[in-house]
């Protein structure tokens, strides 16, 4: 078993098995994040929301970032948020696999960014499988969209409302559907 910290291994894309001796750390970290989320989700002060989100992500959240709470995050330390980002109500971010949100990204209500999942095989299903999500500059993620592990949404691209994105989206493209398919180039 690796002696490397479990969060570093996850950030590097390693699958974590349920018998991993450090697995308990994921749950402990989630509860610590939840304490800050309760404060953040009960605030209507944009400066306080950004300050708490900075603590959750362990990074500076620029004053140009707007977050309409509630926002749900299971860890936080693997999220990087650029400038002029807008995150609307009721988004869910599972970030153990890492999530990068570049400048000028719009995230509509009820979006799920899921950098974590489980293997399909029944015998391995309790393992945690991760994949980094990258929302490139000026992307727009429509209401209720789900972005699955390991996906990159290209620069200037649009994900239509209600879509499930299971493949990378090229730059300057609109995708939609379940699974999301290219609708047109912009």
Catalytic residues: 118
**DSSP classification of residue 47:** H
Helix (H) or strand (E) holding 10: helix 6-11
């Amino acid at each position: 078993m690796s002696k490397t910290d479990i969060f570093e291994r996850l950030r590097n894309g390693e699958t974590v098995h349920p018998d991993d001796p450090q697995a308990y750390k994921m749950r402990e970290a989630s509860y610590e994040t939840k304490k800050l989320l309760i404060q953040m989700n009960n605030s209507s002060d944009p400066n306080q929301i950004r300050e708490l989100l900075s603590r959750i992500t362990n990074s500076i959240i620029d004053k140009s970032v707007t977050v309409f709470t509630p926002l749900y995050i299971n860890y936080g330390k693997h999220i990087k948020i650029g400038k002029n980002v807008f995150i609307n109500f009721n988004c869910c971010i599972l970030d153990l696999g890492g999530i990068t949100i570049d400048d000028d990204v719009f995230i509509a209500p009820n979006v799920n960014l899921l950098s974590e999942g489980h293997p399909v095989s029944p015998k391995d299903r309790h393992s945690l499988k991760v994949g980094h999500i990258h929302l490139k500059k000026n992307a727009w993620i429509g209401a209720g969209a789900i972005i699955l592990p390991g996906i990159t949404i290209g620069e200037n691209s649009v994900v239509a409302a209600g879509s499930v994105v299971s493949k990378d989206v090229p730059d300057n493209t609109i995708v939609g559907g379940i699974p999301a398919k290219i609708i047109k180039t912009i």
